[in-house]
Structure 1
Amino acid sequence: MEETCEVVVSQKGFHKLRVRGYLMVKEKCAGERYYWCCDHRKSLYCGGRAISCFRNGQHVLQKFVDHNHAPVASAPYVATIVEEIKTRARSTADLPCQIVHSCTTSAPPNVAPYLPSRAALSESIRRVRRAERPREPRSLAEVAIPEELQRTLTGEPFLISDLAVEDHRMLIFASKADIEKLSAASLWIMDGTFKTVPRLFYQLYTIHGALQTSRFSIFPLVYILMTGKSEELYRRVFQELGDFGERNELHLRPSVIMTDLELSAINAARTEFPDAMNKACFFHSSQCVWRKIQSCGLASTYADDENFSLAMRHLTALAFLRFDEIPEAFEELKPHLPEEAHEVTEWFEVNYVHGQIRRRLRNGVVVRSPPLFAPTLWSVFECMESGFPRTQNNIEAWHRRWKSLLGKAHVGVYQIVEEFRKEQRHVTNEYERLLRGEPCPQGKKQDIRREQRLQNVIRNRENRLNPMDYLRAIAHNLHL
């Protein structure tokens, strides 16, 4: 009966043959015949030899010369576990400690003592990953995306544009299928993150599309590495996306674009997508009010006095009115706001409602400049009516997940592009899963109940004769 031998992979990636409990390294081959010598031929001066014939994908033992030492039964199993660790290192973005823990805890108890130390295994993971990636650039001039990283994991073109604007550089990543989804999305949500971006760039800017499956589902569709955040840079990004769409007979015409309160992005979106309605994220608007309360030294009052807290939440409740109703409602609300919060009230009036007073005419008319953030921008009434989200909280959750996937801050350029490719594949799979009718993930019960209460208040608005009652009902369901 023929004796077949198992091939195992060494820690350095070489093939070894397990022969009767011994690990043997290849010495030479001639056609189908392979010649092997003992793995310890130098350390133990062992003269053990073997000859195998490779047939039908297997090594069949032809000749065996005894060794001068006993076999180590655990060695092949150790080699197999180490190779599994390296395979995980190549195929996942898991932290070294996660990979080592997962693979070593599954090792048989009689093999575990013979495994390399955790530090050695972690270093082997880092060594494998360094070898898999090109050397990270040290300057923008050195950034040259390798051909492989310019395509998705399924081989489609992924790098839309490598754009230089004066001293700035922008890399835009998306597949044609992603832009098709973006063209079908009536709502775009755009946001930047700074924690995971490579140090050569200023921010990672992402464009997410709200796609209608069983309900609105929000997916990241475009990934942009940017060295700045000026209006001109944002305009060039939007122009590049529009040009790509036209080349592929896709029309990018969002109905609503939601951003944080970043004027450069807002103005660029207004210029390049003039038919879209620009909306600010309600969460970011609320955070601005909270930071102003803090800067005025009223944080402890807000925390200790529920009446004060509820009164200040009336300011953010104004967002649930139609934009043209907000100025009049604010004037009605002002007398009911706490006197100690006068500075907050004045700041809100100047920046969010009426604008700065430029002069007072003799006839009593007050001339004002437009507010920095007009009610048309931060009113969420239209979003509530259309069923669109009023916040970027889905995007904030994505940022937390993204940070967890990368495992550390300020990763390398090529490393983050590789993660873009993996995330693009993940989004494609998730979209297909929802298309076939899989239920969307449910939010927290308390958030669902609060949303139901808000919807009830809005639907019953006409039954509330006093507008202040409406704002108070909304404010009860908000927090800063």
Structure 2
Amino acid sequence: MCNEIQFENSKLIHNCAKDSEQKINRQILSNNLKRKALEQLSERPAKLFHDEMKKCNVSTLTSSDVTYIKNNMNHARNSIHPKLLQDANEIHNILSSIEIKTFKGENFLMVNDPLNGFVMFSCDENIIFLSSLTTIYVDGTFDYCVQYFCQLFTIHGFKNNYYIPLAFFLLRDKSQVSYKRAFVELQNQCLKSVEVFEPKMCFVDFEKSIHNALLEVWPQIEIKGCIFHLCQSWWRKIQKIGLATEYSKNDEIGKYLTYIFGFPFLHPEEVGDVFAIDLGELKPENDKLTEFSDYLVDNYIDEDSSFPPKIWAEMTSSAQRSTNACESFHSKYNSNFSSTHPHIYKFLDVLKAMQLDTVILINSSKMETKIIRTATKNKNKFINNLIDKLNMNEISKLQYLKALANKFKPRN
């Protein structure tokens, strides 16, 4: 019987040691991650957790331990950020009460307008650099934005193949009035720092309220639509009408629809004639196809349409015809958040961290021209070869359209 008692005691000691090891490991990991959650405020807790898992002993961890550790990380973060705010005025009050500076010590908050629900972030270095540019790119993200605001609207500059985010706006809606306010305030800040800012060209999505606001502030500006978004809009319309199946076929309807995606590579003044005459002769009788053709004419082909050819058509191989670089920035920005409405303090941490990237991009654009990727060079070469063949009458307009459309049309 004594042997049995000794055996039971040894099991108890072993289990206690095991429990103790588990608790110690859990506590060490929890403490490490709480510290990192406070030190690396712009990093998502999930990423911190998974990075730490690669370096620690996980053999003793259970699901309960993981929940415990993650809760501690969130509590640590929440301890330095006040509770959720009740309305937009509280956000504006916070912005007015704290000092918001870049890592170089420049003021980062340029406009805080509670009356119009408008906030602008930038700094003198960004504004001075922007004032020297003639081409801008604008885009907004709605996926992750401070509560009580609709979007983060960003203005990028372009120099020596670098796309550089330079001014950031919290807007409460997508109205023409809000966009105009952003452009006016941008111009005002440029006047304070340097001189009148008169961009000659702006690349933007097909959003009429932004186009109208741009023209109100800069009547002479040339607006260029993003051809990636253009083709996506046409493809969504094809799907909505019910022509997606025909689009993928190599029959008369499929070929007609395919030709359409070569039109962004025509001269704007010839789009109407090529659509009505060259392509019109190939149009099969089909009610859905007629509906799609009418949609194109009303919105994109006619000179009086919402988005006439001068906005989106150009016979060029230029790689700067989309706002994809802006979307790439917003994608990186979005990746920092686990909540669709991040707290204003979390938002500021992320935006100030990304301003460091902006400084590096500004420096790079002043010292060198960014090397174009091989894939982009090959695409440009492909387009230029077709343009040369068309100009030398080696291929017809339809052959030109077909070759480009097959290369760049959306894939279903």
TM score, norm. by length of structure 2: 0.83
For the 8 Å contact 2:204–2:224, the answer to whether it is kept is yes
List alignment gaps of at least 5 residues for structure 1: 1-71, 356-369
- SS of alignment partner, residue 410 of structure 1: coil
Once residues 375 and 83 of structure 1 are traced to their aligned partners in structure 2, the CA distance between those partners, rounded to angstroms, is 60
For the 8 Å contact 2:134–2:200, the answer to whether it is kept is yes
How does 1:72-471 map onto structure 2 within 5 Å? 82-90=30-38, 91-107=40-56, 117-143=65-91, 144-146=93-95, 147-148=97-98, 150-164=100-114, 168-212=116-160, 216-305=161-250, 308-332=253-277, 333-340=279-286, 341-354=289-302, 370-381=304-315, 384=316, 387=318, 389-433=320-364, 440=371, 442=373, 445=375, 449-464=378-393, 466-471=396-401
Once residues 148 and 371 of structure 1 are traced to their aligned partners in structure 2, the CA distance between those partners, rounded to angstroms, is 47
- For residues 212-233 of structure 1, the C-alpha deviation after alignment (integer angstroms, 9 at most, x for no partner) is 2xxx111222111111111121
1:10 aligned residue: none
Once residues 388 and 303 of structure 1 are traced to their aligned partners in structure 2, the CA distance between those partners, rounded to angstroms, is 27
Once residues 297 and 109 of structure 1 are traced to their aligned partners in structure 2, the CA distance between those partners, rounded to angstroms, is 52
Q: CA deviation at 1:137?
A: 1.9
For the 8 Å contact 1:453–1:477, the answer to whether it is kept is no
Higher deviation after alignment, 140-149 or 337-346: 140-149
1:56 aligned residue: none
Once residues 451 and 207 of structure 1 are traced to their aligned partners in structure 2, the CA distance between those partners, rounded to angstroms, is 26
- For residues 370-411 of structure 1, the C-alpha deviation after alignment (integer angstroms, 9 at most, x for no partner) is 211111112234xx36x4511122222333222222234222
- For residues 239-276 of structure 1, the C-alpha deviation after alignment (integer angstroms, 9 at most, x for no partner) is 11111110111432222101111111001101212222
Residue 389 to residue 236, structure 1, CA distance change in 2 (3 Å): same
Residue 109 to residue 202, structure 1, CA distance change in 2 (3 Å): closer
Once residues 438 and 463 of structure 1 are traced to their aligned partners in structure 2, the CA distance between those partners, rounded to angstroms, is 32
Once residues 323 and 75 of structure 2 are traced to their aligned partners in structure 1, the CA distance between those partners, rounded to angstroms, is 38
Q: CA deviation at 1:80?
A: 6.5
For the 8 Å contact 1:173–1:223, the answer to whether it is kept is yes
Q: CA deviation at 1:74?
A: 11
- SS of alignment partner, residue 162 of structure 1: strand
Residue 469 to residue 455, structure 1, CA distance change in 2 (3 Å): same
Once residues 206 and 414 of structure 1 are traced to their aligned partners in structure 2, the CA distance between those partners, rounded to angstroms, is 19
For the 8 Å contact 1:352–1:375, the answer to whether it is kept is yes
Identical-pair percentage: 22
- For residues 331-374 of structure 1, the C-alpha deviation after alignment (integer angstroms, 9 at most, x for no partner) is 2222223332111112211221226xxxxxxxxxxxxxx21111
Once residues 472 and 301 of structure 1 are traced to their aligned partners in structure 2, the CA distance between those partners, rounded to angstroms, is 16
Once residues 273 and 313 of structure 1 are traced to their aligned partners in structure 2, the CA distance between those partners, rounded to angstroms, is 36
Once residues 109 and 138 of structure 1 are traced to their aligned partners in structure 2, the CA distance between those partners, rounded to angstroms, is 41
Once residues 331 and 373 of structure 2 are traced to their aligned partners in structure 1, the CA distance between those partners, rounded to angstroms, is 18
Higher deviation after alignment, 201-210 or 326-335: 326-335
Structure 1 segments (4+ residues) deviating >6 Å: 72-80
Give the letter for the 1:322 counterpart: H
Give the letter for the 2:103 counterpart: L
For the 8 Å contact 1:434–1:440, the answer to whether it is kept is no
- SS of alignment partner, residue 117 of structure 1: helix
Q: CA deviation at 1:198?
A: 2.6
- For residues 72-108 of structure 1, the C-alpha deviation after alignment (integer angstroms, 9 at most, x for no partner) is 9999998765544233212243332322232344236
Once residues 328 and 187 of structure 1 are traced to their aligned partners in structure 2, the CA distance between those partners, rounded to angstroms, is 30
Residue 98 to residue 388, structure 1, CA distance change in 2 (3 Å): closer
Give the letter for the 2:90 counterpart: E
Residue 249 to residue 296, structure 1, CA distance change in 2 (3 Å): same
For the 8 Å contact 2:184–2:217, the answer to whether it is kept is yes
1:36 aligned residue: none
**Comparing both chains, which one has the higher relative contact order based on Cα–Cα distances under 8 Å and sequence gaps of 6 or more?**
2
Q: CA deviation at 1:308?
A: 3.5
Larger Rg: 1
Once residues 178 and 237 of structure 2 are traced to their aligned partners in structure 1, the CA distance between those partners, rounded to angstroms, is 29
Once residues 403 and 22 of structure 2 are traced to their aligned partners in structure 1, the CA distance between those partners, rounded to angstroms, is 70
**Given the alignment, which residue of 385, 404, 412 partners 1:474?**
404
Which of the pair is proportionally richer in helix? 2
Which of the pair is proportionally richer in strand? 1
Once residues 437 and 78 of structure 1 are traced to their aligned partners in structure 2, the CA distance between those partners, rounded to angstroms, is 49
